[in-house]
Structure 1
Amino acid sequence: MAGSLPNPEYLIEALRFKAEQLGLELLGITQPTTPPHVTTYETWVKQGRYAQMDYMATERNRYLRVHPEAIMAEARALLVVGMRYPNPQAIPPPPSPYPFGRIASYAWGKDYHYIIPELLKELLKELEAWLSAPILARIYTDTGPILERDFAQKAGLGWIGKNTCLIHPRKGSYFLLGEAFINAPLPPTPPFTTDHCGSCRRCIEACPTQCILPDRTLDAGRCISYLTIENKGPIPRDLRSSIGNWVFGCDVCQMVCPWNVRFALSEGSPAFAMRPDIAFPNLIDELSLSPMDFKARYGNTPVMRARRRGYLRNIAVALGNSADPDSAPHLGLTLKNEPEPLVRAHAAWALGRIKTRLARKHLSEALQREPDPDVQIEIKAALEDTD
C-alpha cells in the first residue's frame, strides 16, 4: 500500500462518520507499539491476579501484549472503536414477588463478538473504496492478546478509570471495544493524557467483593464478573454471599461512577439489539432450564460463555442469597435431579442459607443418596448452617 494518504484528516473524519452510522460511536487511531501500562500488566501477572485465566500468563500472550507489532508484521496503524451498550439502570427491577437475578447490561443483547468484527469489516470496506486499494487487517474484540483499553487511551477515546474501565469524558464507560490492525498508514489521533478520576473512590468502595486494587487493576479471583463467567468451578464459599443476585457479570463499579451517572445514555448502540426479558431473570424458573432451554433462551448472547452448569451454579447462589423459603422445593428438586455436581453443590449451599425445616429435610435426604464427595461436603456444611 502506498505510504501517503490524500487529506488524511478528512479521511479520519469520514471514517468517524461512517463508524457512527454503523453503530460504532467511538473511533480513534494509534500505532501498534508497546502500550503505556505494560509494567502494570506484567506486575499483575507476576502477582497471580489472573485467577484461573492461565491464558493471560502464557509466554506467547505475554510477549504479544508487550510487543503488539509482532501480531501483524504489515500493520501500520491500529484502528480502535467503541460500541455503546445499554445503561444497566435503563430497565428498572421488576415489581414482582418472585426472587430475580441480574445480568450485566452488556449481555442483554446479541453477543458483541458477533457484532463488532462484522461492523469493523464494513468500515474497512469503505476505507478500501476511499483508498482504491485492498487492506490487510487483523480484527479483535476482547479476543486477542492485546491491552485494548491501553490502545483506546492511546487513540484518544478516554482514560482508564480506577475500576479499570475506559471512561469517555462526555459519554461514560458503557462501551465495548474492538480493534483492527491494518496496513494502511493512517495518522494517529491525539492520545487522551488526562485522568479525571481525581480523589473519587466510589467504585472501589462500592465493589461488593473489594476486588479493585490501588494500581487500577483487579484481583480477578474476587471479581463477580470473573466468578460468574470465567470461573468454571465452584464459587469460593466466603465470596458467595457478596455476589448478591448477580447471575452473569456485574455492573456495580460502573453504576456508581459519576461519569456514568452524569453522561451515560440509557440505550445502547443501534447495532445492539437489547432484549429486556434477559435483564432480570426469574431465579426459580431459571433453575429448571434444561440444556435445550438454556440454548434456546441464551443462544448468541454472551450468557452462553458461562455454560449451563456455570449459569445454574450462579442461579443457585442468588437463590441462597435471597433466602426465599418458597425456593426450597425447587432447590430440593435440583439437588435430587440435576445431573451436574457443580449445580447440586451450590443448590445445597442455597438450602443451607434458607434455614427452614423443609430445607433441612431436602438436605438430609440428599445426603443419603449423593454419590459425589464434593457435593457431600457442601450438603454437610449446609446442614451445619441450618442447625
Structure 2
Amino acid sequence: MNSRSGLTTQILQLLRPYWPLVLGGSVLGVVGGASVAALLAVVNHGLYATQADVVTLFFAFAGLCLLILIGSIGADISANYVGQRIIAELRKSLAAKILAAPIDQLEIYRTHRLIPVLTQDVDTISDFAFFFSSFFVSLVIALGCMVYLAVLSWQLFLITGVVIVLGSLAHGYARTRGVRGFSTAREAEDQLHKQYRAIAEGAKELRLNRVRRRRVYVEQLQQTVDRISSVQIRSINLFVTARAFGTMLFFVVIGVALTLRPFLWPDSPAAVSSGFVLVLLFMRGPIDQVIGILPALGRAQVAMRRIAELSEQFSTPEHDLLASAPAAPGKTAIESIELRGVTYAFRAVPGSDPFVLGPVDLFVRQGDIVFIVGQNGSGKTTLIKLLLGLYAPHGGAVLW
C-alpha cells in the first residue's frame, strides 16, 4: 500500500466517529448554496414583477435569506469542529507512531525532517480544514447558478460551460505545476530547518571561525532561502495568472452574449438577458473564492503526502508499546543476555559500501562487567543498542 492510500485510509478512519456531523454539515452547505442560486432567481424576477407579486417575493426573499444564514453557519461550525478534531487525532497518532518507531528509523529520518512534519505540515492541513466549508459552499453556489443559467437559456448555458471548461483547464495546468513547485519548496524547507539547527547548536564554533561562519550563511542559508522564495513566487504566480484569465473570460462571455443576443435570440425576453448578466456577475465571487483556495489545497496535498511518508516510515509490528503494562506478581530477573551470530547492516551511502556489524557471538551473565573497546566507527554503539533491544538484528538472535 502506498503512502497516499495509507493516509486516505487513516483519515477515513478518523472521520468515522463524526460522520453524522459531516453529513449534516454537507446537507446544510448544499441548502445554503442552493438558496443563494434561488435568491438570484427571486431578485431577477423582482426586477420585472408587478405590484401583486410584491408580497410573495418578499416572503420568498426573507425565507431564502434565513436558509442561507442557517446553511452557511451550520456548515462552517460542523466543518470547523470536525476538522479540528481530526487534526488533534492526527497529531496524537503521529506522536504515538514516533514513540513506538524503531530507533534506527528515527535516526535515519533525522530531527530536521521530523519537526516540520509535526508542526508546519499539520498546521497547513489545519488551515485548509478551516477553509474547506467555504470552498464547498462556494462550489455549490456556482453549480446552482449554472442550473439557473440552464433554466434561463440553454444556449447561454452552453457558452458559459465552454468558458468554464477553458478556465478549468488553465487552473488544472496551474495547479499541477504549482503543486510540483510547492513540493520542491517543502523539500528545501527541510534543509532550511537542518541549517537553522546547525547554526543554533554550532553557534560557538561558528563564532570562532569567520570563514566557516560566512560560508554557512552565504552558501547554505542564503541559497536555500532564495530557492524557497523563488519556487513559491513562481508557483503562486501561476495561480494568480490563471485566476486573472478566468475573470477575463467571464466578462468576455457577458460581452459576447449581449452582442449576439439581438441576432441569435431576438425573441428572448429582457429578463433572460438581465438574469444572465446578474448570475454571471454574482458567480465571479464564489468562483474566485474557490480558485483562491486552490494554492492552499496544493500545499495541503504536499503536507498530506509528507505526513503519509512519515506515517509509513515509522510503522512497526509492535502495536502494544503504548499500552498499559499488566500488573506482574513479581519482577523477573534477566540472568543472561546472549548474541548468537548477530549482524546489523546500515543503509549504503552513495559511493561507498554499507557498514555491517557482525556476525557477533557474545554471552553476558548477570553481574558481569564487560568492556567494549574499538576504533571510531567500529560499531561499539551499534552493539550496545543491539544488546538493549533498541536495534532489531538483521541476522542471528538475541536471547535473554
Give the TM bin, normalised by the shorter chain. Answer: under 0.3
Which structure has more helix as a fraction of its residues?
Answer: 2
TM-score, normalisation: structure 2: 0.20
Which structure is higher in RCO with an 8 Å CA cutoff and minimum separation 6?
Answer: 2
